[in-house]
Chain A
Amino acid sequence: MNSSLKASIIDAHQRRDRLHPYEVLPWLTAALIFFLFPQFLNLGAHVLVTIIFVLSMDLLIGYAGIVTLGHAAFYGAGAYAAGILCVSAGINEPFTGLAVGTIVGGVVGILSGLMILRTRGLALLILSLALLLLLQEAANQASAWTGGADGLSGMSMAPLFGKYRFGLDGKVIYLYSLGVLFVCWLFLRMLLATPFGRSVVGIRENAVRMAAIGANVRRRELAIFTIAAAMAGLAGALAAQIDQFVSLNMLSFELSGMVLVILALGGVSRLYGAFLGTPVFFIAQDYLSKDNPVYWNFWLGLLLVAIVLFARGGVLGILARGFGRMRLQPAASSALSQARS
């Protein structure tokens, strides 16, 4: 490899990790929504929480290449942790709840990861699903703690920073969720630029080759699995707090499925797939179900079929095909592809 080629590869990588002006767009949109559409802040807050959850799933599926159906297990674990902390232990300070939800999500993640990650492909898919169903039944049975099928009610959160109550208008929960999402995004952005982040992508591309160049594949996979689980736990805790309610749905297969659908809509392994797919999904759902509360699922299904058939890579894929070619300069891009091959 000659030195000029090496320099241009490094240059291309640095360019990719640098903040792009486009990346301010989601935050700008979020701010505009806050001021222009105050009646949509509740829906908005739920969109923001779901984005965090979808981001954590993207980390697994898109970056690490670990396809699971059980990701809701960590979301639900975080939600129940925050809920039980509030109802049974009486600790209702929001940030404490978030921390506990994150830790519990992470612990469940590392324990299950030790088991699940021994397998690959279909076996992994089924094991993750089994874990989810086991946790759901456990939550159903432990009704003294979780409320069982009736759900865990009676969470009353303390005001945020001791000052701002979670009101009806949704302003506080919107800004709270936005803040948490921003921290998560910043963390992921940095994580993915580290050598560790790069190596995870490397494992996705070719696990054998990564092992051959000396990377401990199992340990790295477990680490990324745990991080994703902790982040899902964080999203679950946040959801429990803004709803002030936890139900068995948060541990359901349907929820895992919904997140997969959102990823397919938005685009996998792009970080911004979550930012685009989630609002598209929620707005389509909100709009369609308002128009017809009985048959709206049909149109949502049709939209999905259309995306999967005609727009691989989701909404972001369409955009990338339009603009993406301009992003990397020809020399750098060819250098990258040369280095890959």
Chain B
Amino acid sequence: MILTHRLVGLVALCALAAPSVSADTVVKVGSVLALTGPFASMGEGVDRGAALYMKLNRDKLPKGVSIELIRRDNAGPNPTAAKRLVQEMVVRDQIKYLTGAIFTPDAAAIAPLATEAKLPFILPNASTSSLTRMSPYIVRVSLTQWQLAYPMGEWAAKKGYKTAYIVVADYAPGHDTQEAFTRAFVGKGGQITGVLRIPQNVTDFAPYMQRIKDAKPDMVFMYINSRIAALKAYEAAGLKAAGIQLMGPGDLLNDDEMPAIGTAAEGVITGGIYTSNLVDPSPQNVAFLKAWATEYGADNKPSYLGVTGWDSMDMIFSAIAKLGPDAKPEAILEFLSNWKSDSGARGAISIDPKTRDIVQSVVVNRMENIDGKMMNRRIDVIPDVKDPWKIINPE
């Protein structure tokens, strides 16, 4: 008796389960991020942005199609692990889309694999310009170092700054930033008074700041890893009091580090692609921030990585919605290379079909102290910036 009951139950269960299993076509999407290790917060930003998009936009997929996101941790930067994990996702899971790689070396190691496996590969962070040339299957939705430093160099020169000191972290992205800013600033008549390449693990910036102060430049352009220490030293050494303007790319003032930096950041000008900490945010940004706060709590603020994570998933969803679940890689790539959106938190962005790199506005913000709260105020917008490196170094 009991056995028959169980059998009936089992059959009923199968009947219930069967339609949903057979009707849903599953599109597998792979994601390789640094989810542990010293840079876990970066991977987490992208991961959360993507998860939030998936949760809120299920109805964008065609009926009977669902997405399975396969998340892997390479504790990056770790190109060896990144490549192996992607190889496994290609062979074992047969993913159709790939997103991720926080760091350039991770993406560079995956690039030949994406080419060989014909796997559309969306970059939500890695920002070395040449990456998109390493595989025709790479599409970038984040930014490049040049995309921020170059227009900021031109902007600063246009605003009347004559001399600049450059401070960068002594590794490839820092060197890129230095070259981009120098070319643009000098090209518009500015002069570079000095360059400091600072080893990545330095946390005491006092001697460096003294050197800059002695050189008396109009401004400092800074791209550094230990931002909190550097900004505090900038104030403590009296550079701010001496009227030396501090500028940098957007991530010089990370929103999640602002409580630690405090008023030392007052007056600092950054040129970035996104900040959650804006006096007058756009309607898209307000909607994004509201969804984020509902999901992750009011205290948790997204960085630009949450936005690029969201946008990378938006690309994949819209590709599946347009082309269906069984599209050929070439068709997917064609679609992604011509992708445009104005619904994301950044406003209007598009992919340049020639280079598969992103075209977006660089927003110039000044950090202000508004009733004891540090907030970014938008002071200028440089619209439709393409990656300058690719224009200067044609293929």
Contact = CB atoms under 8 A, between A and B. Distances in A.
B113 interface: yes
B104 A150 contact: yes
B91 A150 contact: no
A333 interface: no
A178 interface: no
Nearest to B86: A42
A8 B336 CA distance: 76
Interface in A243-259: 243-245, 247-250
Given A151-B105, A296-B36, A170 B87 contact: yes
Interface string B33-71: 101100010001000000000000000000000000001
How many A residues touch the partner, as a band? Answer: 20 to 34
A150 B36 contact: no
B84 interface: yes
B73 A249 contact: no
Interface in A105-150: 137, 140-141, 143, 147-150
B386 interface: no
B324 interface: no
A14 interface: no
Contact of B172 (A149, A244, A250, A294): A149
Given A42-B91, A151-B79, A151-B104, A296 B172 contact: no
Contact of A169 (B77, B91, B134): B91
B217 interface: no
A177 to B, nearest CB: 13
Interface in A212-267: 239, 243-245, 247-250
B299 interface: no
Interface residues of B, number: 36
A290 B128 CA distance: 29
Contacts of B44: 294
B177 interface: no
Contacts of A147: 172
A132 to B, nearest CB: 15
B78 A249 contact: yes
A46 interface: yes
A136 to B, nearest CB: 11
B87 A168 contact: yes
A296 B73 contact: yes
Contacts of A43: 84, 88
Contacts of B35: 293-294
Interface in B220-239: none
Contact of A247 (B71, B90, B105): B105
Given A289-B72, A289-B73, A245 B109 contact: yes
Contacts of A151: 79, 104-105, 108-109
B10 to A, nearest CB: 28
Contact of B72 (A170, A249, A293): A293
Interface in A291-306: 293-297
A148 B171 contact: yes
B116 interface: yes
A334 interface: no
A150 B80 contact: no
A194 interface: no
B78 A293 contact: no
A168 B72 CA distance: 19
A297 to B, nearest CB: 5
A153 B109 contact: yes
B318 to A, nearest CB: 26
Interface in A141-182: 141, 143, 147-151, 153-154, 156, 168-170
Nearest to B108: A153
Contacts of A88: none
Contacts of A169: 91
A96 interface: no
A243 B36 contact: no
A268 to B, nearest CB: 25
Nearest to A252: B78
B109 to A, nearest CB: 4
Contacts of B104: 149-151
Given A143-B175, A293-B35, A296-B36, A243 B79 contact: yes
B112 interface: yes
B198 interface: no
B36 A294 contact: yes
B171 to A, nearest CB: 4
B105 A149 contact: yes
16 contacts: A42-B88, A43-B84, A137-B199, A140-B170, A143-B175, A168-B91, A168-B117, A243-B79, A245-B109, A247-B79, A249-B78, A249-B79, A249-B80, A250-B80, A293-B33, A293-B71
Given A243-B109, A245-B83, A293-B71, 20 more contacts: A42-B84, A42-B91, A140-B171, A147-B172, A148-B172, A148-B175, A149-B77, A149-B104, A149-B105, A151-B104, A151-B109, A153-B108, A243-B83, A244-B112, A249-B78, A249-B105, A289-B72, A294-B36, A294-B73, A295-B36
